[in-house]
Amino acid sequence: MDICVVGQGYIGIPTATLFANNNCNVIGVDINEEIVTKLNQGIVPIEEPKINEILINCLNNGTYCAKNKPEKADVFIITVPTPFNKNDFSCDLSYVVSACSSILPFVKKENIIIVESTMAPLSTENIIKPIFEREGFTIGEDLYLAHCPERVLPGNMVFELIYNNRIVGGVTEKCAKKAAEVYGIFVKGNIIETESKIAEMSKCMENTFRDVNIALANELVKICFELGINALDVIKIANQHPRVNIHCPGPGVGGHCLAIDPYFIYSQAPSTAKIIKLARDTNRNMPDFVVDKTKKILSSSFLNEDEKPIISIFGISYKGNSDDDRESPSYEIINKLKNCSKIKIYDPHIPKKSINFEDAIEDSSLILILTDHNEFKDLDYNLILKKMKIPQIFDTKNIVSENNVPKEIKFLNFGNIHLSNQK
């Protein structure tokens, strides 16, 4: 089977290489020349275990090739970004529409068109379907169109693409069946055939569910701060109830899913989706909460008014053990702290945007942990005491074990942040 995957990013590369690794002839298309060159050299531009090994194997076998433009294929898979419009929070389908337009010269009867990009409900039927109908195709009869959203966790994509259940939403039943046959090439989880609009809403709602529950945890942190209660202890004890699972609070929500997908639902029914919008607002406001508390920590400990304190930012990716920094709340926090402090960034997973650990803590007055990388679990506390101007840590991800931190280092997290004004 010949497959053309348009978009070689966090989803497109794993998808393309897994098909190629299962005896399909795959062309991975991307408009970025640098990405195309790297992929053809066997270099994966994202940090994801096992993908590089699979890519090299596929290049050696001749089953994968990256190009700038689409070519004829049996199946076309669209995996381009879908940001939201900031004026009305609607789904920006410009990249998807552009990708669909780019394959039109190569589409022929009996082709299967699959859009993996997350879209607002009804997008496949109302926006994507007409693109191909205007070319004279009858969807469900001589061309098969489906929306098949991904469900993967960065850092474990290969396993999850293979073993997770897969939603296949066809414009017609035959469209769903045809697309399901494509994923049957390598997917070992259940392949669930449904309507495209149900697949669209399901994907958006999966991420909305998580966003709402994270918002509940983040709101709890703010409430406990006002009342002088340890929020982390509250969560730990409440979660011992057999039917309670309060999520982990954090400095905000990032990524291309949780931080965006809920808006796609809200934009379709803004007068009804009130909880969804409130949850988004709560999570979007967490960077302000972190900035405010960071300033209070510094004001209570930094005495030299003639110079700006140094803040060591630990982690700029939105997710631990990943180089994915899309929509990361770290950047908003950094931008809001720049006017009152000097920023040094340490992120071992994004070395191009950071410095090493020792340089990052040199003369620093605060380590601000914004990402739960494994490297932050066991820090070199002797070096911290030696290098930092004021040895203190504010852990917004609850990644550091407080019991391991020497008493000489002031340690704060969302459990004891209400003590930040105490010297």
Condensed to tens digits (0 to 9), the pLDDT of residues 258-285 reads 999 999 999 999 999 999 999 999 999 9
Lowest mean pLDDT of 1-10, 44-53, 148-157, 232-241, name the range.
148-157
- The residues, ordered by sequence, that sit 6+ positions from 12 with a Cβ below 8 Å of its Cβ are 5, 6, 28, 30, 77, 79, 80
The CATH number that domain 2-196 falls under is: 3.40.50.720
Catalytic residue among 203, 293, 387, 397: 203
In CATH, the number for domain 286-419 is 3.40.50.720
Q: What are phi and psi of 108, to 5 degrees?
A: -135, 170
- The answer to whether 345 and 316 are in contact (CB under 8 A) is yes
Q: Please give the pLDDT value at position 256.
A: 85
Q: What percent of the chain has pLDDT over 90?
A: 92
**Contacts for 93-98 with beta carbons within 8 Å, 24 or more apart?**
93/119, 93/123, 93/127, 93/128, 95/7, 96/123, 96/127, 96/128, 97/127, 97/128, 97/131
Instruction: Specify whether the CB–CB gap between 360 and 344 falls below 8 A.
Output: yes
Active site annotation includes 129: no
* 125-129 mean pLDDT: 97
Give the dihedral of Cα atoms 119, 125, 130, 135; nearest 10 deg. 100
What is this structure's pTM?
0.91
Tell me the average pLDDT across 174-200.
98
Residue ranges, comma separated, of all CATH 3.40.50.720 domains in the chain are 2-196, 286-419
DSSP 125: I
> Region 387-399: what's the mean pLDDT?
97
Q: What average pLDDT does the chain have?
A: 95
Q: In this model, does residue 415 exceed pLDDT 90?
A: yes
Does the pLDDT value for residue 423 go beyond 50?
Answer: no
Residues 6+ apart with CB under 8 A from 57: 21
Predicted pLDDT of residue 422: 52
The conformation of residue 1, written as its DSSP 8-state character, comes to -
257 catalytic per annotation: yes
